[in-house]
Structure 1
Amino acid sequence: MRLKSLVAAMAAVASLAPIASQAQSASENPWMVRVRATDLIWQNGQTSSVSALNVKAQDKIIPEFDVSYFFTKNIAAELVLTYPQTIQINYGAGQNQLGTIKALPPSLLLQYHFTDLGAFKPYVGAGVNYTIFSSRNNLGNGAYSVGGSSTGVVGQVGADYMFDKNWGLNLDLKYATMSTNVTVTSTGADAGKLTLNPWMPSVGITYKF
């Protein structure tokens, strides 16, 4: 149901494209792409048995690719993508490795771009994050598993500095709400919740078509 909701939201944005294209000037292409390096800085909140084990996800730098469509010169939608990322989960005072899980965390955001400041073009955005967890039974040699997905909100501030009409440098900061339930694999008993809620500072290259 959550995945269907995200797909429906993306479809709704896409359905606006014919209307939005009329708002673009004839000489301006509405598409923009970016490639970023993103640092996942997990906040690692815990409850119940998960807290007793001091379970934490290990921070990681990942590649990120996003596509933006400008409905007007100020309003855009951005789809943020990567491929499934292997996240190391640690535990205990010494933060020894408990295992790994994989996470695929696409986000869809609506943005406002401030475009009248010359080459410097800051923006703000807000939207939804849907994270799909896989390889979920690898914790504690299979003793623990995590839930299949997480739906949350995501906020964003950033800026492009355009070197010319096509190429630019991008700096971006996002925060997403993200969590997963941890269960005892053998019994299905609830072991608590791991709240990840990552900060995601990024740096990358912008290309405006």
Structure 2
Amino acid sequence: MRTRTVLTRASLLALAASLANIPVQAADLGRASIYYKAPPIEPSNPWMIRLRVLGVLPDTAGSSVSVAGAPSLSSPRSGLSISDQAIPELDITYFFTKNVAAELILGVTSHHISGNGALTGLDIGKAWLLPPTLTLQYHFTDFGALKPYIGAGINYTTFFNQSAANTSLVGLAVTDLRISNQFGAAVQFGFDYMLDRNWGLNFDVKKLWLRPEYSATVNNTIAVTGRANIDPWLVSGGVTYKF
């Protein structure tokens, strides 16, 4: 019995030695390997919104005024002045790639219109503007938390709730006012400074070229026509949220 136990142990040792000398084939390694599959990377959400305070700063240089039968009151002796305004504004941005995006800004603003030059002191009226602006942007992504961008696009401004002032200055009063809706070009530059993955701060400047035709009536009889060179700067700052 003792001899058989010794032989069995010897047989096991011999078997282990022979197995150690058997070459392992590449195919065997492939079958024996354990593969780890990385979880798929979820694409980032392409939407971004910003809530900003927007300053609308018209640049009315070059506006024209033509008063029928009164060249002394017409351009170049007279022009228009349009008030500045500050409003809340919402914009929505969609990223096609990490660098290319489209932005739509939404807001309404009210402006007061008066005369200058020979018409200084004449209250002309006021109007509300709905100026949605769509731009195509390029975002630079090599500056860490700072995300500068540039853009260009188109604006379409609708004028509504237009009203003549009906106040008299040396016997003149604007009794009717009409401003035409207008397309215009837009350019912009700005940046987001991201505080974390979702939240950031934004600063943005846009320039619009907006030059609608208008018509008015003075004292219910005198026709006034011209072009209002509004050409506003839109300067804004606010909060960014990236989905």
Q: Mark the CA change 1:169 to 1:96 in structure 2 (over 3 Å): closer, same or farther.
A: farther
Q: Which stretch of the first structure deviates more once superposed, 45-54 or 108-117?
A: 45-54
- Aligned-pair Cα RMSD in Å: 2.1
Is 1:69 the counterpart of 2:103 in the alignment?
no
Q: Which runs of 5+ in 2 are unaligned?
A: 1-40, 67-73, 168-173
Q: Distance in 1 between matches of 2:93 and 2:200?
A: 14
Structure 2 counterpart SS, 1:98: strand
Q: 1:26-37 maps to which residues of 2 (within 5 A)?
A: 26-37=42-53
**Counterpart code for 2:115:** Y
| Equivalent of residue 112 in structure 2, options 88, 91, 110 | 88
Q: Distance in 2 between matches of 1:165 and 1:188?
A: 60
Q: Distance in 1 between matches of 2:159 and 2:95?
A: 31
Q: 1:1-209 maps to which residues of 2 (within 5 A)?
A: 26-44=42-60, 45-49=62-66, 51=75, 52-83=77-108, 85-92=109-116, 95=121, 97-140=123-166, 143-185=175-217, 189=223, 191-209=225-243
Residue 40 of structure 1, CA deviation: 0.9
**Counterpart code for 1:158:** G
Q: Distance in 2 between matches of 1:95 and 1:168?
A: 44
Contact 2:85 2:110 in 1 (8 A): no
Q: Which runs of 5+ in 1 are unaligned?
A: 1-24
Residue 91 of structure 1, CA deviation: 2.1
Structure 1 counterpart SS, 2:212: strand
Q: Distance in 2 between matches of 1:95 and 1:31?
A: 47
Structure 2 counterpart SS, 1:143: strand
Contact 1:136 1:148 in 2 (8 A): no
Structure 2 counterpart SS, 1:80: strand
Cα deviation 1:90-120 (Å, max 9, x = unaligned): 2246555432111000001100000121000
**Counterpart code for 1:191:** T
**Counterpart code for 2:63:** Q
Structure 2 counterpart SS, 1:118: coil
Q: Distance in 1 between matches of 2:110 and 2:135?
A: 24
Pair member with larger Rg: 2
Contact 1:146 1:180 in 2 (8 A): no
Contact 1:128 1:151 in 2 (8 A): yes
Contact 2:127 2:161 in 1 (8 A): yes
Contact 2:147 2:193 in 1 (8 A): yes
Cα deviation 1:8-33 (Å, max 9, x = unaligned): xxxxxxxxxxxxxxxxx733110000
Percent identical: 41
Q: Mark the CA change 1:71 to 1:162 in structure 2 (over 3 Å): closer, same or farther.
A: same
Q: Distance in 2 between matches of 1:104 and 1:119?
A: 33
Residue 137 of structure 1, CA deviation: 3.8
Q: Mark the CA change 1:121 to 1:53 in structure 2 (over 3 Å): closer, same or farther.
A: same
